[in-house]
Chains A and B, each alone.
Chain A
Amino acid sequence: MLLTDFIIFVLSLWVGFEVISKVPATLHTPLMSAANSIHGIVLAGAMVIAATAHNVVGYILAFVAVAFAAMNVVGGYVVTGRMLKMFRRRATPPAVTAAAGTAGAARPAAAVPSPNGKATA
Chain B
Amino acid sequence: MSGTFNTVIQLVYVAAASCFILGLHLMNNPATARRGNQISAVGMIAAVAATAALIIHLGVISVTGWIVIAAGVLVGGGLGLYTARTVKMTAMPQLVSIFNAVGGGAAALVAIRDYMTLGGSVAASTSVPTLLDVIIGSVTFSGSIIAAGKLQGLITSAPVSFPGARIVNLLLIAVAVGVGGYVIAAPSLIQLGVVIAAALIFGVSMVMPIGGADMPVVISLLNAFTGTAVAMAGFVINNTALIIAGALVGASGGILTKLMADAMNRSIPNIMLGGFGSGDAIVAAAGVAGAGVQSIAADDAAIQLAYASKVIIVPGYGLAAAQAQHEVAALADLLESRGVDVSYAIHPVAGRMPGHMNVLLAEANVPYPLLKEMDDINPEFARTDVALVIGANDVTNPAARRPGTAISGMPILDVDHAKSIIVIKRSMGHGYAGIDNELYTDPKTAMFFADAKKGLAELTAAVKTLVA
Kindly name the residue among B27, B37, B76, B351 whose own CB sees the greatest number of chain A CB atoms within 10 A.
Answer: B76
In this complex, how many residues of chain A approach chain B with their Cβ under 8 Å: the count is: 96
Is there contact, CB below 8 Å, between A36 and B96?
yes
Give every chain B residue within 8 A of A29 (Cβ-Cβ).
Answer: 92, 96, 351, 353-356, 358-359
CA distance A80 to B33 in the complex (A): 10
The residue that B367 contacts in the complex, of A16, A35, A82, A104, with Cβ under 8 A, is A104
Is there contact, CB below 8 Å, between A91 and B367?
yes
CA distance A46 to B369 in the complex (A): 41
CA distance A114 to B234 in the complex (A): 45
What is the CB-to-nearest-CB distance from A3 to chain B, in angstroms, rounded to a whole number? 9
Give every chain B residue within 8 A of A69 (Cβ-Cβ).
Answer: 72, 76, 102-103, 106
CA distance A86 to B36 in the complex (A): 15
Of all chain A residues, the one with the shortest Cβ separation from B216 is A28
Is there contact, CB below 8 Å, between B337 and A45?
no
**Segment from B81-89, B178-186, B394-402, B458-466 that makes contact with A:** B81-89
At the interface, yes or no: B429 with Cβ under 8 Å from chain A? no
Is there contact, CB below 8 Å, between A66 and B237?
no
Give every chain A residue within 8 A of B41 (Cβ-Cβ).
Answer: 37, 77
At the interface, yes or no: B233 with Cβ under 8 Å from chain A? yes
The residue that A46 contacts in the complex, of B72, B227, B249, B367, with Cβ under 8 A, is B72
Is there contact, CB below 8 Å, between B72 and A63?
yes
Is there contact, CB below 8 Å, between A26 and B346?
yes
Q: How many A-B residue pairs lie within 8 Å, measured between CB atoms?
A: 418
Is there contact, CB below 8 Å, between A32 and B245?
no
Give every chain B residue within 8 A of A102 (Cβ-Cβ).
Answer: 341
What is the CB-to-nearest-CB distance from B364 to chain A, in angstroms, rounded to a whole number? 9
In this complex, how many residues of chain B approach chain A with their Cβ under 8 Å: the count is: 127
> Given A28-B354, A36-B96, A71-B79, A41–B252 Cβ distance below 8 Å?
no
Of all chain A residues, the one with the shortest Cβ separation from B366 is A91
Give every chain A residue within 8 A of B44 (Cβ-Cβ).
Answer: 37-38, 40-41, 73, 77
Give every chain B residue within 8 A of A88 (Cβ-Cβ).
Answer: 362, 365, 367-368
Is there contact, CB below 8 Å, between A9 and B72?
no
For window 242-274 of chain B, which residues contact chain A by CB distance below 8 Å?
Answer: 242-256, 259
What is the CB-to-nearest-CB distance from A102 to chain B, in angstroms, rounded to a whole number? 7
Is there contact, CB below 8 Å, between B241 and A44?
yes
Kindly name the residue among A6, A12, A21, A29 whose own CB sees the greatest number of chain B CB atoms within 10 A.
Answer: A29
Is there contact, CB below 8 Å, between A81 and B72?
no
* Proximity string of chain A (89-121) to chain B, C-beta cutoff 8 Å, 1 when within and 0 when not: 111000000001111101101110000001011
CA distance A37 to B103 in the complex (A): 9
Is there contact, CB below 8 Å, between B231 and A9?
yes
CA distance A64 to B51 in the complex (A): 18
Chain A to chain B: the 10 pairs with minimum beta-carbon distance, closest first? A16-B251, A66-B72, A28-B355, A75-B80, A70-B76, A12-B247, A67-B76, A28-B354, A104-B369, A78-B84
Supply 27 A–B pairs (Cβ within 8 Å), ascending by A. A16-B24, A17-B255, A25-B348, A25-B354, A26-B355, A28-B355, A31-B256, A32-B223, A32-B253, A34-B36, A43-B48, A43-B51, A46-B110, A49-B113, A49-B114, A61-B116, A62-B68, A65-B110, A67-B79, A72-B103, A72-B106, A86-B362, A86-B365, A90-B367, A91-B365, A103-B369, A110-B29
Binding site for A on B (CB under 8 A): 16-17, 20-21, 23-25, 27-34, 36-38, 40-41, 44, 47-48, 50-52, 54-55, 58, 60-62, 64-65, 68-69, 71-77, 79-81, 83-85, 87, 89, 92, 95-96, 99-100, 102-103, 105-107, 109-110, 112-114, 116-117, 125, 219-220, 223, 226-227, 230-231, 233-256, 259, 333, 336-337, 341, 343, 346, 348, 351, 353-356, 358-359, 362-363, 365-374
Beyond the given A17-B251, A62-B72, could you list 12 further A-B residue pairs with CB under 8 A, ordered by the A residue number?
Answer: A17-B254, A19-B21, A34-B27, A38-B20, A41-B245, A43-B106, A47-B52, A67-B73, A81-B34, A100-B367, A103-B372, A107-B29
